[in-house]
Chain A
Amino acid sequence: DTGVSQDPRHKITKRGQNVTFRCDPISEHNRLYWYRQTLGQGPEFLTYFQNEAQLEKSRLLSDRFSAERPKGSFSTLEIQRTEQGDSAMYLCASSPNEGVGNTIYFGEGSWLTVV
Chain B
Amino acid sequence: AQSVAQPEDQVNVAEGNPLTVKCTYSVSGNPYLFWYVQYPNRGLQFLLKYITGDNLVKGSYGFEAEFNKSQTSFHLKKPSALVSDSALYFCAVRDNAGGATNKLIFGTGTLLAVQP
Contacts and interface: CB of A to CB of B under 8 A. Distances in A.
Given A41-B108, A100-B32, A101-B94, A108 B46 contact: no
A101 B33 CA distance: 9
A103 B100 contact: no
Contacts of A6: 43
Contact of B43 (A31, A103, A109): A109
A45 B52 CA distance: 25
Contacts of B46: 103-106
A74 interface: no
A88 B51 CA distance: 31
Contacts of B106: 42-44
Interface string B73-110: 00000000000000000101010100111111111110
26 contacts: A4-B43, A6-B43, A31-B102, A33-B104, A40-B109, A42-B92, A42-B106, A42-B108, A43-B90, A43-B104, A43-B106, A45-B103, A45-B104, A50-B100, A55-B101, A56-B99, A56-B103, A91-B44, A100-B96, A100-B102, A101-B32, A101-B52, A103-B34, A104-B104, A107-B43, A111-B41
